[in-house]
């Protein structure tokens, strides 16, 4: 009886194994891929890996013709408390953390009200189109991108 009770207590204290699909379920799988947009000579590209090991890795670059204007390394990662954070490093600079504030099947939003600009970052999909927006918390000073899958 004592051995059985000890076995039950041990089983309850050991977390169940979680499959890779379950572990990465909160990540926006619909964001993964290579995305681009162009307006005349001006272009923007964004790239995202699938989630693995608790992180999605992204990068973006923007330019005019053959000239690079700006670039950014980005991560979406699981924090110690299990929530998601969006962590950009514009131009390779110091990371800034934006915490998950809203998520649906084809959209995700992060915010950092203490950051100068942007304070809110959103992505959403409509069919094959990826939309992105940065803005202040109240939605002012919004800048939007409308990406197509790269190569189209």
The tens digit of pLDDT for each residue in 3-55 reads 433 333 333 333 333 334 434 348 999 999 999 999 999 999 999 999 999 99
pLDDT at 62 > cutoff 80? yes
Domains of the chain, earliest start first:
20-149 (2.40.128.20)
DSSP string, 42-54: EEEEEEEPPPBTT
Q: Give pLDDT tens digits for 105-117.
A: 999 999 999 999 9
pLDDT at 140 > cutoff 70? yes
pLDDT confidence bin for 142, thresholds 50/70/90: very high
Strand extents, DSSP E, the chain: 33-39, 42-48, 55-64, 67-78, 84-90, 98-104, 107-111, 120-126, 129-135, 143-149
Q: What is the C-alpha to C-alpha distance for residues 116 and 14, in angstroms, rounded to an integer?
A: 43
Q: What is the C-alpha to C-alpha distance for residues 98 and 115, in angstroms, rounded to an integer?
A: 9
Q: Percent of the chain beyond pLDDT 90?
A: 80
Torsion of CA 44, 70, 92, 108, to 10 degrees: -40
- Angle CA 37–39–44, to nearest 5: 35
Mean pLDDT within 66-81: 96
Mean pLDDT within 59-67: 98
Give the pLDDT confidence score for residue 2 in this predicted structure.
Answer: 39
137 neighbors 118 (Cβ within 8 angstroms):
no
- Evaluated on CA atoms 114, 138, 145, 125, the torsion sign reads positive
112's tokens: 């950092």
- 95 φ, ψ (degrees, to nearest 5): -70, 145
Longest dimension (CA), the chain: 77
Mean pLDDT within 123-131: 98
Mean pLDDT within 68-93: 95
Q: What is the C-alpha to C-alpha distance for residues 148 and 8, in angstroms, rounded to an integer?
A: 53
């Amino acid at each position: 009886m004592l051995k059985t009770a000890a076995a039950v207590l041990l089983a309850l204290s050991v977390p169940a194994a979680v499959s890779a699909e379950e572990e990465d379920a909160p990540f926006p799988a619909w964001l993964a891929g290579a995305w681009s947009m162009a307006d005349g000579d001006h272009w923007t590209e964004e790239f995202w890996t699938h989630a693995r090991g608790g992180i999605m890795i992204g990068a973006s670059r923007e330019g005019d013709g053959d000239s690079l204007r700006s670039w950014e390394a980005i991560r979406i990662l699981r924090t110690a408390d299990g929530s998601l954070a969006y962590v950009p490093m514009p131009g390779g600079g110091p990371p800034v953390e934006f915490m998950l504030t809203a998520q649906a099947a084809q959209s995700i939003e992060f915010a950092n009200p203490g950051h100068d600009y942007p304070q809110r970052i959103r992505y959403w999909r409509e069919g094959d189109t990826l939309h992105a927006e940065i803005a202040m918390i109240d939605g002012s000073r919004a800048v939007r991108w409308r990406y197509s899958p790269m190569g189209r």
